[in-house]
């Protein structure tokens, strides 16, 4: 990890970065006239920090073209469902619980302009059990997210290393 950008300055990733004296950009949407302006600021911050791979973990905003274009093929996201189920929103766990399904899960995928539609790197399932609440199911989904996200990062690092060795 070389830097953290967040729209929530009190998030765990920002605290982690500050504790290690890593650069942190606080990019609350209220500070910008548009999402595109926010993304340009984040793009420029990451470029100054020489970021090679962007990891959206808990980031609850949709990237715009300036950011997507700058880091094309180098942004991954962890989503709290087995995509393509319950794509496109922040309420995937609630949707899964209300769906009547017996399972849900988490997905690590490459971010593209198609919301939650990029190539899937990893998925793992979580049972939905009788008596589950949003909180109990969210806790189990988060356990899976915390396990598969580092593996997704390793996959992307290897992919990016392969790409650079071909050039």
Show which residues are catalytic: 79
Task: Tell me what pLDDT residue 89 has.
Answer: 86
**pLDDT 10s digits, 88-126:** 988 999 999 999 999 999 999 999 999 999 999 999 999
Does 81 lie in the same domain as 68?
no
**Residues 16 and 55 grouped into a single domain:** yes
pLDDT at 162: 82
Give me the sign of the Cα torsion angle 40, 155, 144, 108. Answer: positive
33-60: per-residue pLDDT in tens?
A: 999 999 999 999 999 999 999 999 888 8
Listed residue (30, 85, 79, 22) closest to 48, CA to CA = 22
Instruction: Report the CATH number at residue 141.
Output: 3.40.50.170
Specify the pLDDT at position 165: 66
Is residue 7 within 8 Å of 17, Cβ to Cβ?
no
How many distinct structural domains can be found in the chain?
A: 2
The residue among 41 and 12 whose pLDDT is bigger is: 41
User: Quick one: 65 and 91 in the same domain?
Assistant: no
Q: Tokens 């605290």 identify what position? A: 15
Residues 46 and 12 in one domain: yes
Q: Which residues pair with 86 in a beta bridge?
A: none
Q: Which of 72, 100, 134 is the last residue of a domain?
A: 72
Of 27, 51, 72, the last residue of a domain is 72
| Residue 141 pLDDT > 80 | yes
Considering the domain architecture, whether residues 150 and 163 belong to the same structural domain is answered as yes
**Residue 58's pLDDT is what?**
81
pLDDT at 23 over 60: yes
Question: ∠ CA 157-79-32 to the nearest 5 degrees?
Answer: 90
Q: Judge whether 152 and 78 are in contact, CB under 8 Å.
A: yes
112 with 149, same domain: the answer is: yes
Tell me which residue range forms the domain holding 29.
1-72
Most confident of 24-33, 50-59, 144-153, 157-166: 144-153
Q: At what angle do helices 92-99 and 134-166 cross, to 10 degrees?
A: 120
Task: Examine the pLDDT at 128 and tell me if it is beyond 80.
Answer: yes
Residues 9 and 57 in one domain: yes
Please tell me whether residues 5 and 68 are part of one structural domain: yes
* Cα distance between residue 96 and residue 100, in whole Å: 7
State the pLDDT at residue 153: 97
Whether the predicted pLDDT of 167 surpasses 60: no
166 pLDDT more than 80: no
What values do phi and psi take at 148, rounded to 5? -85, -25
User: End of a domain among 22, 40, 72?
Assistant: 72
Residues 91 and 164 in one domain: yes
Residue 92: predicted pLDDT? 97
22 and 45 in a single domain? The answer is: yes
């Amino acid at each position: 990890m070389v830097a953290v950008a967040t729209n929530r300055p009190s998030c765990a990733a920002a605290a982690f970065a500050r504790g290690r004296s890593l650069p942190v950009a606080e990019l609350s949407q209220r500070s910008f006239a548009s999402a595109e302006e926010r993304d340009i600021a984040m793009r420029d911050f990451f470029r100054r920090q020489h970021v090679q791979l962007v990891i959206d973990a808990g980031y609850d905003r949709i990237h715009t073209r300036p950011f997507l274009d700058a880091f094309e093929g180098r942004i991954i996201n962890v989503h709290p469902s087995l995509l393509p189920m319950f794509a496109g929103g922040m309420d995937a766990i609630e949707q899964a619980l209300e769906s009547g399904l017996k399972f849900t899960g988490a997905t690590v995928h490459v971010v593209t302009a198609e919301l939650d539609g990029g190539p899937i790197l990893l998925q793992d399932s979580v049972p939905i059990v009788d008596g589950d609440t949003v909180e109990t199911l969210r806790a189990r989904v988060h356990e899976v997210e915390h396990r598969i996200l580092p593996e997704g990062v390793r996959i992307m690092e290897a992919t990016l290393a392969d790409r650079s060795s071909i050039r």
